Structure 1
């Protein structure tokens, strides 16, 4: 990778880190950039995942105020994310890359629908003694999102926001904060696995890491100030973009 290409990848990392902190789907910027510069798709996916970990951390840290009181919940759900990410990473290394090509756009589309109808649906489904951690169904759903995140990861934030927003009695910004932590767990778990068993382009990792760290910090600063209806609209637009990108390349 030439210095100019590394600079371009770093810039893509800034955008990805910012988008991941606000919504998710930053991989839709960095992954195609790496492939365009000649990095093989699986190596690009692995290197992109590792490089985005620092950005996931700064994004989660930027939402630390909204994380107040969620420690116990995130420990439970973090275990689901960790196990799912490990399984998803193994699938990436061992399965045909085309396995999820049909399923992934459907999942993202469903998540967009959940994000749109979440306020209405949450009121209809509200129970007097709702489980503070979402119960076993939320744990299983987060586990499934972790598998997807470990396998590819683009738009995993949209999936997580849709799932958490539907099954938790929380405002959208607190849901987004939880999403950032769970995305960090997924990315970090997959990164550790890839460090052991996968081929890595370290120039790509370094460029994305620097960019995503800056972008994650900036994205968290901006995202925390966005009103819930506007943030909901941004999430849906990003999700629809992800579907178009994945279906039509």
Structure 2
């Protein structure tokens, strides 16, 4: 229980700063014996409070983004519903195989995201709300987040940073709100129809609420290479656990 709580703190902090907090909590839940689907569902529900405190910590950077976030938030909600339904209707063996690949891709994205983001930014003109391709990208990121979610923050930062003419902290604030919408939408769906381990949910919720607030306040001081390396190590642990 202590390990799950501490993992929740780490995930909340990482999600507020960059995303990929599920690469900490998800393998932790696997390590304490939860089945993959139950671990994923419980992890998603438990991280919602951390998303809320992360958004609150970035309130100044959200100023002036209301119209944009209403537009993109609709894409996040629709995508999350679609991804959550896929999770509930595909067999568990398919989940294990798909998530193993998704975690590997997420780890690669964590490593290459800065260069990828610069490459995309040089090739796509900015738009006040990101344009139609940004909306489609956020929709697909929402589907990914509703299905599994690790590194959806990295994906969103890459998308928003490439399509919006904004500095990185305002992009990160928008990412936090969109990620919260995805997690909250999927959490409502899972609470109604999916197997949830409520002890794990409460431990992660308490930890992520603390970590989300602390991450929003202090996470910017962490050296980015160290943070990215830590996330990749956690991702490799998750892959080994899933395949063992």
Per-residue deviation, 1:59: 0.3
Per-residue deviation, 1:107: 5.9
Which blocks of at least 5 consecutive residues in structure 1 are unaligned? none
Query: 1:199 maps to which residue?
Result: 195
Query: 1:208 maps to which residue?
Result: 204
Q: Tell me if structure 2 keeps the 8 A contact 1:109–1:243.
A: no
Structure 2 residue aligned with 1:57, among 52, 58, 72?
Answer: 52
Q: Could you list the structure 1 runs, at least 4 aligned residues long, displaced by more than 6 angstroms after superposition.
A: none
Cα 1:71–1:60, aligned 2, differ >3 Å: closer, same or farther? same
Q: Secondary structure at the match of 2:61?
A: helix
Per-residue deviation, 1:100: 4.9
Alpha-carbon separation, structure 2, partners of 1:104 and 1:94? 20
Cα 1:218–1:88, aligned 2, differ >3 Å: closer, same or farther? same
2:101 paired with 1:102: yes
Q: Tell me if structure 2 keeps the 8 A contact 1:63–1:224.
A: no
Query: 1:171 maps to which residue?
Result: 167
The one-character-per-residue Cα deviations of 1:197-229 (angstroms, maximum 9, x if unpaired) are 101111111111111000000000013556xxx
Q: Tell me if structure 2 keeps the 8 A contact 1:43–1:199.
A: yes
Per-residue deviation, 1:101: 3.6
Q: Tell me if structure 1 keeps the 8 A contact 2:106–2:150.
A: no
Q: Tell me if structure 1 keeps the 8 A contact 2:116–2:158.
A: no
Query: 1:73 maps to which residue?
Result: 68
Structure 1 residue aligned with 2:123, among 122, 125, 128?
Answer: 125
Q: Secondary structure at the match of 1:133?
A: coil
Cα 1:242–1:167, aligned 2, differ >3 Å: closer, same or farther? farther
Bigger mean CA deviation after superposition, 22-31 or 177-186 = 22-31
Q: Tell me if structure 1 keeps the 8 A contact 2:113–2:154.
A: no
Alpha-carbon separation, structure 2, partners of 1:180 and 1:191? 16
Query: 2:115 maps to which residue?
Result: 116
Q: Tell me if structure 2 keeps the 8 A contact 1:24–1:157.
A: yes
Alpha-carbon separation, structure 2, partners of 1:73 and 1:109? 29
Taking structure 1 as the reference length, the TM-score comes to: 0.86
Query: 2:149 maps to which residue?
Result: 153
Which blocks of at least 5 consecutive residues in structure 2 are unaligned? none
The one-character-per-residue Cα deviations of 1:39-65 (angstroms, maximum 9, x if unpaired) are 111111101100000000000110011
Query: 1:39 maps to which residue?
Result: 34
Q: Tell me if structure 2 keeps the 8 A contact 1:155–1:242.
A: no
> Alignment length, in residue pairs?
237
Cα 1:115–1:105, aligned 2, differ >3 Å: closer, same or farther? same
Cα 1:139–1:46, aligned 2, differ >3 Å: closer, same or farther? same
